[in-house]
Structure 1
């Protein structure tokens, strides 16, 4: 199968090394989401693949957030649809959820910035090894909220109190900070990321990966179904556009200035 925005390398012991390559910034576009879904289908149904590692070809960015300009331009197709924005949010949720539900281990080898949607994709993976860059759910700094599963997965991973702090303050964490609170599995020296990710993937690949897939399904059940929360998140993401805050946040983002949400009347 051919892909426009990623490459798949099949390595020893059934490890599939997936490299996202969507220049210039590795933004989450519709084309990338289609490739990710096809990748999940291909590797998930291939019994020869035991472990999946996802990383990036970009030297500084693991995965950027949503292609905001693209979302704004594509918004025309939802004209007259009161749930159009929620549908865009649900589109990203569904894409990332494909990786969360794969019946085999998935590792995010984070080699650069993973902010907003990039963090949300990493949260959908089973493990996160990080070398350089920063990670966090920064959407509130734009007057938005995480809309691709972040409110649900971060809360399940590190608890409500810490998730609330990170989301409200749009914190960007270094690898060591992220490891200390359990956001990532392990912080590693940037020059050793591929080696460390491969060693971890090989350790998993040598184990009973089918049992791991079944355990994953049972663990998900223990936490309760995520679907109702994702639906609420998508609708809440849509409601942010009724507050007027995204207008200021997105304008500031594109103009590279600090947003001014507090204005004198």
Structure 2
């Protein structure tokens, strides 16, 4: 298996550690998406893989989210809903894997990085911040975030986090159930490997069936994802993403109160 943005290390008890390395900031480009699909397919064909751990090679960033430069390209028409569906499908496949998955969050996991983590079974966090911050750019989470976050922490708290584009540290995220466990940054690898090793010694097939049942509970997820990606595409008709991303690159606060559309 040839990977462009990831490396895989095999540990005991079937634990496989996937290190994401997509400089400069681990943006969720096609390289990461394609590599993730390869790993997912490999898991389906290799019964020796019992637990997947995802970590980052970047010292301060887990996954930065979408490639804003690509998203703001105006050289031609972009099918934003189809682009969102592509990433939704990748994260759905990750969520539906029949083995436990763990996001080892060593740095910032914002926007799409948070959505990646939400598609994993567990999130163990050391440093950085986590949150769905798309509204600060005039956008909305479109890789499953509007569906998975409320299911995880409840609608009221999810609204607060998304409406205000809140960034939570590890302790704050643990307090509301967004992450499974907050640990000291220096202890992250050890904590994650112990956690994964315990899972690897468990009844993986039964765990896989439990996961299948849990996912089936959310029978309206597909419809929710359809609503999400269509809403994501409509944000580009508001003028807000233009201002939000322009402000991002100009390193200033966006001014969404100005008249942006004609």
TM-score (norm 1): 0.95
Q: Which residue in 2 is equivalent to 1:102?
A: 97
**Does 2:50 align with 1:50?**
yes
Compared CA separation, residues 187 and 75, structure 1 to 2 (3 A): farther
Deviation for aligned residue 1:20? 0.2
Is structure 2 residue 191 aligned with structure 1 residue 180? no
For residues 214 and 227 of structure 1, the distance between their equivalents in structure 2, rounded to whole angstroms, comes to: 20
What are the ranges of 5 or more consecutive residues in structure 1 without an aligned counterpart?
none
**Structure 2, unaligned stretches of length 5 or more?**
none
SS in 2 for 1:70: helix
Counterpart in the other structure of 1:69: 69
Query: Structure 1, residues 83-116: CA drift from partner, whole Å, max 9, x if none?
Result: x110011111111111101000000000100000
8 A contact 1:111–1:133 mirrored in 2: yes
Map 1:86-125 to 2 at 5 A: 86-125=81-120
Stretch moving more, 168-177 or 25-34 = 25-34
Q: TM-score normalised to the size of structure 2?
A: 0.96
User: Which residue pairs with 2:244 in the alignment?
Assistant: 249
Q: CA RMSD in A?
A: 1.5
Matches within 5 A, 1:107-186: 107-186=102-181
Q: Distance in 2 between matches of 1:45 and 1:185?
A: 28
Query: 1:68, CA displacement in angstroms?
Result: 1.4
Contact 1:105 1:204 in 2 (8 A): yes
Instruction: Please state whether the residue corresponding to 2:63 is helix, strand or coil.
Output: coil
Partner of 1:22: 22
Query: Would you say how many aligned residue pairs link Structure 1 and Structure 2?
Result: 260
**Structure-2 separation of matches of 1:44 and 1:118:** 24
